[in-house]
Amino acid sequence: SLQSLKSRGYVKEQFAWRHFYWYLTNEGIQYLRDYLHLPPEIVPATLRRSRPETGRPRPKGLEGERPARLTRGEADRDTYRRSAVP
């Protein structure tokens, strides 16, 4: 149970809003590695460094220039109807 790991100092316990939260300490990570016979290459996801995204480039959107936005004074129904393409 986590009480046993807490008493050994392998986890840090936090209580908030009627819920318990436990966080592994570095000593707890090492203990689990030894207990589960894991190689040192296996690292928790929270300790991994984020790598820059190397996937496909994002699409650029619609080709060409976007029309300028109208201000509140210019954005009335008549202006909208005049700019609509038949």
Q: What is the pLDDT of residues 23-66, one digit of tens each?
A: 999 999 999 999 999 998 888 888 887 777 777 766 666 666 66
Cα–Cα distance measured from residue 17 to residue 33, given in angstroms and rounded to the nearest whole number: 32
Q: 70: closest CA among 81, 59, 56? A: 81
Looking at residue 27, its pLDDT comes to 93
Q: What is the pTM of this model?
A: 0.52
Looking at residue 86, its pLDDT comes to 61
On whether the CB atoms of residues 40 and 33 are closer than 8 A, the answer is yes
The third-level CATH classification (topology) of the domain covering 1-47 is Arc Repressor Mutant, subunit A (1.10.10)
Q: Which value, in Å, is the radius of gyration of the alpha carbons in the chain?
A: 28
pLDDT digits (tens, 9 = 90+) for 1-18: 788 888 999 999 999 999
* pLDDT at residue 79 is higher than 80: no
Strand stretches in the chain, DSSP E: 11-16, 19-24
One-letter amino acid of 59: P
